[in-house]
Chains A and B, each alone.
Chain A
Amino acid sequence: MSAILEVDSLVKKYGDYEAVRGVSFSVEEGEVFGLLGPNGAGKTTIISMVTGVLESTAGTARIGGYDIQKELGEVKKINGLVPQDLALYPTLSARANLNFFGRIYGLRGKALKERVDDVLQIVALTERADGVVDEFSGGMKRRVNIAAGLVHQPRLLFLDEPTVGVDPQSRNHIFESVLRLNRERGMSIIYTSHYMEEVELLCNRVAIIDQGEIIALDTIKNLIAMLGGGVIHVGVPQADDELVQQIATLPAVKEATIVPKPVAPPLAEGEEPEAKEGERVVAGEVVKIVAQHSQQAIVNVLGFLNDRDINLTSLEILEPNLESVFLHLTGKKLRE
């Protein structure tokens, strides 16, 4: 397979702030490639640069062999963009919206009508084609939004958070559409999300992005394999390097590290520390253990702590998935 997209050291700066920091990756023809990262990680900025919406500060990309810096016109003909926003005209019908987006890609007459009918069928909105978009449900609007990016039959489709705010039924419709476009029509797809379940379901390979950088890029299987049999967070009153090294040598334990404590703002005099929603106030230290076999590792670690009269203050077992991979790599949850 040849690469449909090759991104080479892309940088985007806003003044002193570097939103994207020298990102490089490639996507094969016919692949569904995921960009996974929390909000503000730089996913949309990368897509915007690659689709010609934003100018890059440095670096370049090639799509279908065309350089985005020198042959942007050709690049735009290959691309299809489904933005995160509902980029539609709400007072027009679904068909009028699709007709318009088809026309700006040069479609006319019979070809336009056929393409509009086709994409309406793909997103299962043929029956509601002449309805005004403003009167559609959130999920239906999302599906029209996707159809608008498909109407000119792009070779490479960018889906930027396409399921934000949709109901489960529409979400399933979207998943089915994405898989059919890829399998039946061979369309290459770049799918951004901060929902790891979606990426796991749809994508062959995933780039995990945080703070404008790719921190991991591999198949989902390989990424999860980084965690072995899973990750265990063990809370103890005190921990030092010696203790951590001893835990790391236990059977079924792959590695052990102390989780750095987040820097909290100074408390006013007399103020008690409060947990934010979904956050634990941790007294003492947390040791992160990457296990080869999680159940066996838990037994061994608990026995080790008991032998040394070390009290257990907390215990958290993370299943091996992309969420825990992200947590493992960044120390943050995907939706923080």
Chain B
Amino acid sequence: MKALSIAFKDLQIFLKDRGSLLLLFLLPLLFVVVFTGALGEVGKGEPDTRILLPVVDLDGGTAARTLIQGLESAGGVRVEGYKQSEALALLDENKISRVLTIPAGFSGDIDEERPVTLRLINHPDADPEQTEAVRLVVEGVARDMSLEIQILAALQQMGQMQASAPEEYREAFSVERMQAQARSQFERAQAQPLVAVTQRVPGQELEQEEVLGLGDVAVSGITVLFVFLTAQTMARSIYDEKKVGSFRRLLAAPMSKAALLAGKMIPNLIMGLVQTGVIFAFGIVGLKLMGLPSAKLGPAPLAVVLVVVLIALCSSALGILIAAIARTENQIGGLSSVLLWVMGLLGGSFVPLFLMERFLGPVPKIVPHYWANHALVNLMVRGLGLADVALDCVVLLGFTAIFFVVGLWRFDFE
């Protein structure tokens, strides 16, 4: 109850501070508009509309490479190589919509003209139109490959027969006979293709392109940035308490130090949640009204709420840490500005995570903003569920614990 009293008092003070209200509520909306509208296409480049076709090549031979080249040059699909276990795991998680498997011994069977079968496995939720498009492309390339191999083989065989036949039988290899043989092989290739394609789940889905622009991640990115910025507000609130001497008065009151710090954290938590509500509401409704691409909560809104609570909690713990490290008002301002904005930049609040990782490798993972953005993008943009962001949640909790413990350790109550 005493912690709640402190929280209530801090909220009273905060609501009278117009500068902070402006910083924490209006500024993020401005950022969202700028990032969604003016900079929405930044990071996307030329949109690649081809359908992703993950391929597992268990053969690795010449014919397999020829097949993959054929798929690439056919247009309409973008081939990416995967290991079998990796591809099946991603397919189970619905992170990819289909997998084409080239069986082991494919090239050898082709050389021996033994029929081989390519397996195209589709996720049950895959888009039927996209799946049909992929099937047509794969079957077309397989058919062309069968035809080419079978006709070439037939012609080669006839050439060899002609070369080894006695003079009196050479007439048997007339142009007409050769054309008839080629036609026969063509019809056979059509009816009994050397390379067949089977589908485990017929029909369905287009794999979404993973290329996200700033507009796609603006709402989640700005939310993460500004919720973490409340850490500075909290650190300043603690500093102000110390500066005016009310902190001494609180220490003299019958309440534990933990309750005191909890009382300072609760308003930050509430502010973070309200702030997120405002940004999300603006992202979903406001942007739409402005004719800009609007945000969506995704299919797991409760998971979004959970992640937001974890982000606000992590930000509060970071506030304790900043208050423990910085001893003067200038130090709080300087440290917070550098720390929180750099962390935001590094953690994908301004630039989509895949771009940050492309240039910096795993470095962005050292900041909590990365995990916060990763979780929100997966939930809100990619439409994934709670299970898919479990790791992000655990890591955010880990950051929270570290910030709080180190902050408590370094905190100068005197």
Contact = CB atoms under 8 A, between A and B. Distances in A.
A148 B249 contact: yes
Interface string B124-138: 000000000000000
Interface in A105-138: 105-106
Contacts of B13: 89, 91-92
A105 B254 contact: yes
A92 B245 contact: no
A87 B2 contact: no
A76 B254 contact: yes
Given A104-B6, A105-B254, A87 B249 contact: yes
Contacts of A53: 248, 251-252, 414
A48 B9 CA distance: 24
Interface string B232-245: 00000000000011
Interface string B379-414: 000000000000000000000000000000000001
Contacts of A48: 248
B250 interface: yes
Interface in B1-29: 1-2, 5-6, 8-9, 12-13, 16-17
A76 B253 contact: yes
B255 interface: yes
A90 B6 contact: no
Contacts of B5: 100, 103-104
B253 A91 contact: no
A53 B245 CA distance: 11
A76 B5 CA distance: 18
B246 interface: yes
Contact of A76 (B8, B246, B252): B252
A244 interface: no
Contacts of A321: none
A51 B252 CA distance: 6
A61 to B, nearest CB: 14
A216 interface: no
B254 A83 contact: no
Contact of B2 (A55, A77, A84, A104): A104
In this complex, the interface size class of chain A, counting residues with CB under 8 Å from chain B, is 20 to 34
Interface string A56-76: 000000000000000001001
A86 B248 CA distance: 11
A106 B414 CA distance: 24
A103 B12 contact: no
Given A54-B414, A87-B244, A81 B254 contact: no
Contacts of B17: 91
A182 B13 CA distance: 34
A104 B16 CA distance: 21
A252 B244 CA distance: 53
A52 B248 CA distance: 9
Contacts of A193: none
B249 A83 contact: yes
A276 B12 CA distance: 49
Given A54-B414, A103-B5, A89 B254 contact: no
A92 B248 contact: no
Which residue, B17, B250, B251, B254, has most C-beta atoms of chain A within 10 A? Answer: B254
B253 A105 contact: yes
B248 to A, nearest CB: 5
B251 A89 contact: no
A164 interface: no
A167 interface: no
A88 interface: yes
A90 B13 CA distance: 9
Contacts of B1: 103, 106
Given A73-B254, A104-B6, A84 B12 contact: no
B411 to A, nearest CB: 14
Contacts of A100: 5, 8-9
B253 A89 contact: no
A89 B252 contact: no
Given A96-B12, A100-B5, A104-B2, A88 B244 contact: yes
A257 B268 CA distance: 64
A81 B16 contact: no
A57 to B, nearest CB: 12
B259 to A, nearest CB: 9
A256 B6 CA distance: 59
A54 B257 CA distance: 12
A180 B6 CA distance: 31
Given A103-B2, A104-B6, A88 B248 contact: no
B323 to A, nearest CB: 17
Contacts of B16: 91-92
A90 B252 contact: no
7 contacts: A53-B414, A81-B249, A81-B252, A100-B8, A104-B5, A104-B6, A104-B255
Interface of B: 1-2, 5-6, 8-9, 12-13, 16-17, 244-246, 248-255, 414
